[in-house]
Amino acid sequence: MPKQVDHAERRESIAQALWSITDRHGWAKATMREVAREAGVSLGQLQHYFSSRAEMLTFAVDLAADQTSQRVAQAIASLEQPPHPRDVLRVVLIAMLPLRPDATAASRMHAAYVLEALHDTALHEQVAVGLREGRAMVERLIRQAISKGQIAADRDPEVETDLVLALTGFAPLLELDVIAPEAALAAIDHHLERLFRPVP
Dihedral pair phi/psi, residue 160, rounded to 5°: -65, -35
Q: Are 46 and 14 in contact (CB under 8 A)?
A: yes
CB half-sphere exposure, 68, CA atoms < 13 A: 26
Ordered alpha helix ranges (H), the chain: 7-25, 32-39, 43-49, 53-77, 85-96, 101-117, 121-147, 157-166, 170-175, 181-195
Is residue 123 within 8 Å of 113, Cβ to Cβ?
Answer: yes
Burial of 119 from C-beta contacts in 10 A (0-12 / 13-18 / 19+): exposed
- In what helix (H) or strand (E) does residue 168 lie, and over which residues does it extend? none
Instruction: Look up the pTM and report it.
Output: 0.85
Q: Over its length of 200 residues, how does the chain's per-residue pLDDT go in tens digits?
A: 445 568 889 999 999 999 999 989 988 999 999 999 999 999 999 999 999 998 999 999 898 888 888 989 999 999 998 999 999 999 999 999 999 888 888 888 889 899 889 988 888 988 999 899 999 999 999 999 999 999 999 999 999 999 999 999 999 999 999 999 999 999 999 999 999 987 65
> CATH assignment of 53-195, given 2.120.10.30, 3.40.50.1370, 3.10.290.10, 1.10.357.10?
1.10.357.10
* Predicted pLDDT at 5: 61
What ranges do the domains of the chain cover?
1-51, 53-195
Q: How is domain 1-51 classified at the CATH fold level?
A: Arc Repressor Mutant, subunit A (1.10.10)
pLDDT for residue 1: 44
